[in-house]
Structure 1
Amino acid sequence: MSKSERWASRVGLVLAMAGNAVGLGNFLRFPAQAARNGGGAFLIPYLVSLVVMGLPLMWVEWMMGRYGGQFGHHSTPGIFGSMGRNRFWRYSGVLGLVCCLGVSSYYLYIQSWCMAYAGYSAIGGFSPVKTASAPVEPGASSADPAMKLADTPANFFARLTGEKENQILAISPMGMLIFAVCISINIFILSRGLAGGIEVIAKIGMPMLLIFATVLAIRGLMADPDSDPGVKFSPLVGLNFVWQPKFDSLFNPAVWLAAAGQIFFTLSIGMGSIHCYASYLSKDDDVVLTGATTAWTNEFCEVVVGGTILIPIAVSYLGIDAVQNYVKGGSGFGLGFMVLPTLFANWGKFAPLAGFMWYGLLFIAAITSSLAMGQPIIAFLQDEFGYTRKKAAISLGALILVLAIPVAIFHENSVNADLDYWMGTLALVVFALLECILVGWVFGMDRTWAELNRGGQMVIPRAFYYITKYVTPLFIITILSAYVFQPKAGWEAHSLALINGTEAPAWEWSGDGMIGKLMNLDLVIPADATEEQKNFLGWVKIIRTLDRLALVGMFVFFCVLVSKAWKRNGHAEKLYGPNA
């Protein structure tokens, strides 16, 4: 990496960092988690998790990145290695590269869906037409029984992904082409550099995202049950559902776990992308106020903006019970991709533009995040092996394809779901725990605190010294334990049994926990399964096994690269002296 490469402006840095954090989860996952966990019941644990875990980790990662950047390191193996002498730490940093590459491989695929839906909405693909033979889905205008949709989201999604029930292969030429275009756009932007590519997109994209979101929120809140076709409830019912606190949630461990998990996803912590962006700061540049600004910008987009679009619009047409049924799995993809286009159809001539704005803002949120995932790989190749930015960008594209092609050609429940769990969920928590141990106990909390406050334009309350050293790692250990040892009956049932002194449910491993995932307990073959279903689930297990072996192989591959780079560039001697 050229040592002269820097952010062109502080505004550009904040917008790029905010773009990194503001992703699909802000507009799809957060509303779904809020709806699934009782609306306002979710907010209190969510905000507590933000204070005791989100903000400390955000500041720590900014500080680590800036510190490592002083030694010419812009990716987590070098950044971790500059703070901990033991080789364990530089190899721990490899997890940051693997997370970025693993997540981006399926995140780019979903990004291509957003691009396709935006284009299809813009040309009126989901617009209402007067024909008795046209398909219809829930939410289509009830004002005119003959008013149907030109195409349904379910049909379009099937054509886009090529997925069919109980079919392991899911190949769509159209979907593959759009996916390839999406990858190419990302690689091209990354090849343009930090200021000339990433920062330019952030400066254009983030304001556009907010404009689109504001227009949709205002139009959604204007829905009137008395005059608008299809509207059954006031959108204020949806707002009240999201925002009204329920203090009994403080005693529900399942809600706490969901809230803490959402903080990981929404702030993009535990991935290595924040470290990378912050490594291009000068040693006396502020990371306190800038980091806090990034966090609060993300929270505004998630809680205020994200919480004002999907749920209020969906509730006004479908009702709270129906919305909660759609988000049982904790994801808003069903609402966002399958239901919302049918609801927009009630908006008349504005429907195509509304669909374009919705999927356009999702695409912007996705691409600003995927660029942040790609930059650490490029930085690693430039720093350690002297690649030009163009060569590094092309190499990144090749690495992504290795993982992305299986994502695109196999059923979603195989590679996509597996990568999302191991790389997009569990690995983030493990990585965050490692960096907490590194800064609090290896590098030392006193040095961390001094480094964190260097050049700070805001005073961090002293309480965060102790929160960062003690509370945050304990919080993360609790989350990690809950993910690993998850019972089938759920933590809530076991906790209530303990509190009430009643008999706890029999312990069985959940298919959603780490142990259950390793045993493929979420793929139990029903007793009445057809031969086709048995074959499908058998293939899913095989492909998941191959996927996990590929992830292990990728980790080993990057460890070998780090070992070669460390010897090639003499990092140990530069950092610790000739006897290191």
Structure 2
Amino acid sequence: MNQTAPRSLWASRLGFILAAAGSAVGLGNIWKFPYVVGENGGGAFVLVYLACILLVGLPIMMAEFMLGRHTRRDAVGAFVQLEGKRSPWIAAGWVSITAAFLILSYYSVVAGWTLDYVYRALRGSFSGVPAATIEGMFDGLIADGPRQILWHLVFICLCLGIVIGGVQKGIERWSKILMPILLALLALLFMNGMLSKGAWEGIAFMFRPDFEKLTAGSVLEAMGHAFFTLSLGMAAMITYGSYIKRNEDLLGSSLRIVGLDVTIALMAGLAIFPIVFSVGMEPGAGPGLIFKTIPVVFSRIPGGFVLAILFFLLLSFAALTSAISLLEAQVAYLIDERGWGRKRATALLAGLAFLVGLPTALSYNSLAQWHLIGERTFFDSADLLTSNYLLPISGLLISIYVGWFWSGSEEKQELVAGGSGWVYPLWHFLIRYIAPSAIAIVLFFKMRETGLFAWFGNLF
């Protein structure tokens, strides 16, 4: 390890919880969760999602925090310290770091869309405009490469400005600012949804189980989304865990983080579905729900101008709190393992993420004919590779290592330190048997569903 200065730690428990919750709470909660619920039948999907969070997501989150705090290292360095430089387990760290880098590169472009819509909302672009025109705005945006690149650059610079400040003065300070604002914005939108005439329809859609609509694909989707939304398998939680104080209660903190993440996802659904129902639109509208359907809804309801501004600010803040954790996970590697200074490491990695994100910004315009995996664009291929393969593989390796190969006494020590040693038998059972089995099943079916087996067959 090349560290020469004492490792930075979170200044407070609140700062750590808000930073980690900010990492977990991203576009996946507010953009993806509502339309995934809509596509998979509502309440039954929510139940399966919550089960996946508790049985798989929570144990792996605790395992990542343990690895980070025990070693005080980044995702790669944690395995180097525990198993040595030549250990094959280091692959788990590298997979997660690679996933973090690739996700940041295209996530920044998507986050740029939210900034563009904040700008449009401030200009009143959705007020008094026909629905067809509003729906066409998103198609026009993704067809405009230079506009996407501009917002992509703005977002990357925001991430750079926060991460370069360090753990306490950068990430923790801004998490204490951004997360309360995010929660306040969501609370306002939630109350608006609950006061709309579509409130009961929205509540019923979210929580009334209809198991006839629940398919095997829905169960796999719930598992995958639970994994992605908690920022697992992407080095962020190992890195954030390395900044936790020794006496921190990992179980209690993890439950609070998971609780915030789930609450925000559910509140987002209850903010969105009631107003969608109130104007008679389709709740299962897919990815276009946020960028096409919701702006149309805001154009039709009283106070829609203000609500549109609040909503897209909420999306932007959620994206930013997640993205800074992705960048920090990579920066920590260069600081810990290569001895780089924070400013140099942050500037280099932010610049590389911007460059690698350029093909994503051009995926639906200049590079629309450039296909990587099958007939998928660069953006779709990068998303497929990370969300469906790198993250589950990283999580699978971490759960197998922690469940079967890491010293049980060291694991228990991490739980005992915070006063949660009593949960060790249950946690160890889940991380040893349930989590790896569930992830392996999802990974297998995702590979079959996305045609990766056939793709490999064609290569040879």
TM-score by length of 2: 0.91
User: CA–CA distance in 1 between the matches of 2:380 and 2:264?
Assistant: 26
Partner of 1:453: 416
Letter in 2 for 1:395: L
Partner of 1:338: 292
Shift in Å, 1:110: 0.8
The answer to which of 429-438 and 274-283 deviates more is 274-283
Confirm or deny that 1:157 pairs with 2:138: yes
Partner of 1:493: none
CA contact (8 A) 1:269 1:428 kept: yes
Residues 313 and 183 (structure 1), Cα distance of their counterparts in 2 relative to 1, 3 Å cut: same
Partner of 2:42: 39
Confirm or deny that 1:364 pairs with 2:337: no
Shift in Å, 1:136: 1.6
Confirm or deny that 1:306 pairs with 2:280: no
Shift in Å, 1:459: 4.2
Greater fraction helix: 2
Partner of 1:217: 190
Partner of 1:52: 55
User: CA–CA distance in 1 between the matches of 2:193 and 2:256?
Assistant: 28
Q: What percent of counterpart residues are identical?
A: 29
CA contact (8 A) 1:76 1:94 kept: yes
Letter in 2 for 1:78: G
SS of equivalent to 1:93: helix
CA contact (8 A) 1:445 1:469 kept: no
Letter in 2 for 1:283: R
Partner of 1:515: 453
Shift in Å, 1:471: 1.5
Residues 464 and 246 (structure 1), Cα distance of their counterparts in 2 relative to 1, 3 Å cut: farther
Deviation track 1:175-232 (CA, whole Å, cap 9, x = no partner) reads 32222111111111111111111112211111111111111122223223xxxxxxxx
Shift in Å, 1:455: 2.2
CA contact (8 A) 1:112 1:179 kept: yes
SS of equivalent to 1:460: helix
Partner of 1:82: 81
Partner of 2:130: 136
CA contact (8 A) 1:449 1:465 kept: no
CA RMSD of aligned residues (A): 2.1
Letter in 1 for 2:145: I
- What does 1:51-200 align with in structure 2 at a 5 Å threshold? 51-69=54-72, 73=73, 75-85=74-84, 86-128=86-128, 136-137=130-131, 152-161=133-142, 163=143, 171-172=145-146, 174-200=147-173
Letter in 2 for 1:323: P
The alignment covers a number of residue pairs equal to 445
User: CA–CA distance in 1 between the matches of 2:434 and 2:359?
Assistant: 40
SS of equivalent to 2:423: coil
User: CA–CA distance in 2 between the matches of 1:81 and 1:481?
Assistant: 29
CA contact (8 A) 1:123 1:352 kept: no
Deviation track 1:423-477 (CA, whole Å, cap 9, x = no partner) reads 1232110000000111111114454233333223584263232122111111111
Identify which of 11, 27, 31 aligns with 2:30. Answer: 27
Shift in Å, 1:355: 0.8
User: CA–CA distance in 1 between the matches of 2:278 and 2:439?
Assistant: 37
User: CA–CA distance in 2 between the matches of 1:61 and 1:78?
Assistant: 13
Residues 470 and 181 (structure 1), Cα distance of their counterparts in 2 relative to 1, 3 Å cut: same
Deviation track 1:307-345 (CA, whole Å, cap 9, x = no partner) reads 2112222122234xx322x12xxxxx3010011111111
CA contact (8 A) 2:249 2:419 kept: yes
SS of equivalent to 1:485: helix
Identify which of 262, 273, 278 aligns with 1:316. Answer: 278
Letter in 2 for 1:61: E
CA contact (8 A) 1:77 1:89 kept: no
TM-score by length of 1: 0.73
User: CA–CA distance in 2 between the matches of 1:4 and 1:440?
Assistant: 27
Shift in Å, 1:285: 2.8
- What does 1:117-516 align with in structure 2 at a 5 Å threshold? 117-128=117-128, 136-137=130-131, 152-161=133-142, 163=143, 171-172=145-146, 174-224=147-197, 234-247=198-211, 252-303=215-266, 305-319=267-281, 322-324=282-284, 326-327=285-286, 333-348=287-302, 350-411=303-364, 414-456=377-419, 459-460=422-423, 462-486=425-449, 512-515=450-453
User: CA–CA distance in 2 between the matches of 1:68 and 1:257?
Assistant: 33
Deviation track 1:255-294 (CA, whole Å, cap 9, x = no partner) reads 2211111111111111110000110123333222111111
User: CA–CA distance in 2 between the matches of 1:4 and 1:82?
Assistant: 15
Runs of 5+ in structure 2 lacking a partner?
369-375
Residues 513 and 213 (structure 1), Cα distance of their counterparts in 2 relative to 1, 3 Å cut: farther
User: CA–CA distance in 2 between the matches of 1:401 and 1:26?
Assistant: 24
CA contact (8 A) 2:164 2:342 kept: yes
SS of equivalent to 1:125: coil
Deviation track 1:511-539 (CA, whole Å, cap 9, x = no partner) reads x343356689xxxxxxxxxxxxxxxxxxx
CA contact (8 A) 1:46 1:260 kept: yes
CA contact (8 A) 1:16 1:368 kept: yes
SS of equivalent to 2:319: helix
SS of equivalent to 1:34: helix
Letter in 1 for 2:157: S
Runs of 5+ in structure 1 lacking a partner?
129-134, 139-151, 164-169, 225-233, 328-332, 487-511, 521-544, 546-580
Shift in Å, 1:158: 3.8
CA contact (8 A) 2:135 2:296 kept: no
User: CA–CA distance in 2 between the matches of 1:56 and 1:281?
Assistant: 17
CA contact (8 A) 2:53 2:227 kept: no
Residues 418 and 517 (structure 1), Cα distance of their counterparts in 2 relative to 1, 3 Å cut: farther
SS of equivalent to 2:279: helix
CA contact (8 A) 2:100 2:327 kept: yes
Residues 284 and 417 (structure 1), Cα distance of their counterparts in 2 relative to 1, 3 Å cut: same
SS of equivalent to 1:127: coil
Deviation track 1:465-520 (CA, whole Å, cap 9, x = no partner) reads 2122111111111111111223xxxxxxxxxxxxxxxxxxxxxxxxx343356689
Deviation track 1:536-575 (CA, whole Å, cap 9, x = no partner) reads xxxxxxxxx9xxxxxxxxxxxxxxxxxxxxxxxxxxxxxx
User: CA–CA distance in 2 between the matches of 1:247 and 1:338?
Assistant: 29
CA contact (8 A) 2:109 2:152 kept: yes
Shift in Å, 1:105: 0.3
User: CA–CA distance in 1 between the matches of 2:31 and 2:208?
Assistant: 20
Residues 446 and 482 (structure 1), Cα distance of their counterparts in 2 relative to 1, 3 Å cut: farther
User: CA–CA distance in 2 between the matches of 1:47 and 1:154?
Assistant: 32
Residues 256 and 425 (structure 1), Cα distance of their counterparts in 2 relative to 1, 3 Å cut: same
User: CA–CA distance in 2 between the matches of 1:315 and 1:459?
Assistant: 46
Partner of 2:18: 15
